[in-house]
Chain A
Amino acid sequence: MIPWESTLGFTFSPRGNGVKGWRLLVAGLLVFVFLGPSSAHGVEVYLNVARSQGRPLGIAIPLFDADGATDKTSQSYSKQIASILTQDLALYGFFAFIKNESFLAEATAADHKAGKIVFKEWAELGAQMLVKGTYRVSDGQVVINARLYDVDRGTQITGRRYTGPPSAIRLMAHKFTDEIIYRLTGERGIAQTKIAFTSRKRGVKEILIMDYDGHNPQQVTADRTIVLNPAWSPDGRFIAYTSYREGNPDLFVMDWTGWNKRVLSRAAGLNASPAWHPSGQRLAVVMSLEGDTEIYVVRLDGHVERRLTRNRGIIDTSPTWSPNGRQVAFVSDRSGTPQIYVMDADGTNIRRLTFEGAYNAGPAWSPKGDRIAFVSRRKGPFNIYTMNPDGSNVVQLTQGQGSNESPAWSPDGRYLVFSSTRARGIPDLYLMRADGSAQRRLTYLTGGGSDPVWSPRLE
């Protein structure tokens, strides 16, 4: 076994664009305070309203007002904030945005004239929700006051003040998105999450990390070789991955910021496809210790705790844990073609889940445990599907535009990130709702994007 202390001591970060963006994540940098009362009954009311009517909630997000002197640069913040909030919220699919800018400007002018919010004006535009705010720049710091109002009741649902450098404006807007979503759904949003993925560059593949909306891609490995299969630990702190940096596909773990890289497994043959147990204390991995690929459970110190599959000459790979850690879904070609199976966490009670099509692979168990996303080739190219964990209720999410692979769930289970070759023949990353709607391209990098994994909530 490879003891923990034998790990490599190397620590580095990539050159070039580097990791300066991590500054934004440092606790204490971005300060927020509560503004006024927050409605206690928000959650049930608004969600129930939206659900019972089956209609989207009308929401107006006018430009934030300048509070004090501004210049051209700071004036752009207003538009930026409104646009990020709109894009974040649009993903959820239960808002209808009041888009007419002149209507928004008129209602804002009416508010200014009255010296208070004229809710009637906003209601006439069709808004049930209203986001209003101010921004001010002092000593290089941006101060944003953001409030969410219930237009029909004429009350404030929540308010926040954020203070930080101009480079943190995206993060401030994401934070207020999450606050809005929390107030309206009772569940925390995912606007502050990140996505790790691989991208090709001059013949090598490295891991990058970006915001969940595709912004701020940052390279976190510089192995100058093939790097694959990033897997984010459940507590958000670590990323396990496979790298050929020592010539062989070996498993490593690093802090998610790219620092403190160390060996997890360096056996002869494959060391790949890591999947964190929900406890964060062990991983299911794929190794070929005896000449064929099997799924093993290894501890964080590299110790092989258990072998889960036993089939000579058969491929067993792509493990994914159920969120309660009691089961593992995986891919095996024991039937003659790659198909998805599920087994208990001790390797027993193996059941086949997929029967249609000659290629079903890449399972990803949803964070709520209710669905398994996977890749299937049925007619033509590879598409993303989901199914119940017993294999029933299969739903096709992508429709044959390019080859669609590597689905990974958002921590709230509402979305999937995946790779698709639809735009230019090489894989780029896309986002969609868990029902396949609202598909949107995330990466515009020369080297494309593949193998994505979504972080847990990091705030």
Chain B
Amino acid sequence: MKIKRMRATFWTGLILIVAVGFVGCKRAIPPPTMAPPPVTRVEPPPPPPAPEMGMREPGVGELPMAPPVRAPMDIGFDFAENMSKIHFEFDRSSLTDEAKALLQENAAWLREHPDIAAQIEGHADERGTIEYNLALGERRAMSARNYMASLGIDPNRLFTISYGEERPAVLGHDEGAWGQNRRAEFKIAQ
């Protein structure tokens, strides 16, 4: 299987020679050396492979899934005031009727603004493991992206990222907070 992916080249102009191992040596603490923005090229996605297995969750994966597209590192994202966030049931990535209606509005707005790229950010509530919630956030973002692709939005305009349970919208440890944190949010590229 050949996997295409973006490649980024980094360099740093500074080589830090670090002498570790000298007793009592007060080690200099250099500031982080930031690499310059990478040269990023978005490869066209390969054709989606044939489905391998039936889906258990309706609304997820019924559509051919386009591989995720990573936002170039030099792009920043702003809060998308014209696109609504959507919410999910616990441990679910399928779209409710309400979520679909909101995504249709979001898609309509994107159609009116063909030059704008968006990032869909998938989130989970705090319950469950960090790793599973990362995967769940990823699937929620992809679920929203797939649906918007089915509405005619070019999936290459839709970057995705999962934050798992790491970026709750609301603090709190009850269903009131959890329900708001199980979400996919939209940002627009600057």
Contact = CB atoms under 8 A, between A and B. Distances in A.
Contact of B131 (A20, A226, A312, A318): A318
Interface stretch (A8-16, A71-79, A88-96, A147-155): A8-16
B55 A313 contact: yes
Contacts of B21: 26-27
Interface centre among A18, A270, A450 (most CB of B within 10 A): A270
A286 B135 contact: yes
A273 B51 CA distance: 25
A interface secondary structure, majority:
loop
B129 A406 contact: yes
A11 B18 contact: yes
Interface in B1-28: 1, 3, 5-12, 14-16, 18, 20-27
A247 B161 contact: yes
Interface residues of A, number: 78
B138 A270 contact: yes
Contact of B32 (A10, A26, A286): A10
Interface string A253-286: 0000101100000111110110000000000001
Interface string B48-76: 11011101110011000111111101000
B70 A248 contact: yes
Contact of B70 (A8, A228, A269): A269
B61 A312 contact: yes
Contacts, number: 200
B51 A312 contact: yes
B166 interface: yes
A254 to B, nearest CB: 12
A23 B22 CA distance: 8
A344 interface: no
Given A10-B33, A20-B27, A273-B131, A266 B65 contact: no
Interface stretch (A49-57, A175-183, A332-340, A438-446): A332-340
Contacts of A247: 71, 73, 161
Chain B's interface: helix, strand, loop or mixed, by majority? loop
B33 A269 contact: no
A9 B114 CA distance: 38
A317 interface: yes
Contact of B10 (A8, A20, A313): A8
Contacts of B61: 292, 312-313
Contacts of A291: 48, 65-68, 142
A286 B133 CA distance: 12
B166 to A, nearest CB: 5
Nearest to A24: B23
B176 interface: no
A375 interface: yes
Given A26-B23, A268-B6, A288-B138, A12 B31 contact: yes
Nearest to A250: B70
Contacts of B85: none
A15 B65 contact: no
Contacts of B60: 313
Given A289-B3, A318-B129, 6 more contacts: A9-B11, A268-B70, A289-B67, A313-B61, A315-B135, A362-B129
Interface of B: 1, 3, 5-12, 14-16, 18, 20-27, 29-35, 48-49, 51-53, 55-57, 60-61, 65-71, 73, 91, 127-132, 134-136, 138-139, 142, 160-164, 166-167, 173
29 contacts: A6-B9, A8-B10, A9-B35, A10-B33, A11-B18, A11-B30, A20-B26, A23-B24, A205-B166, A228-B166, A246-B73, A247-B73, A248-B70, A249-B161, A260-B18, A266-B5, A270-B135, A272-B134, A291-B68, A312-B55, A313-B60, A315-B132, A317-B134, A361-B131, A362-B129, A377-B127, A405-B129, A405-B130, A450-B130
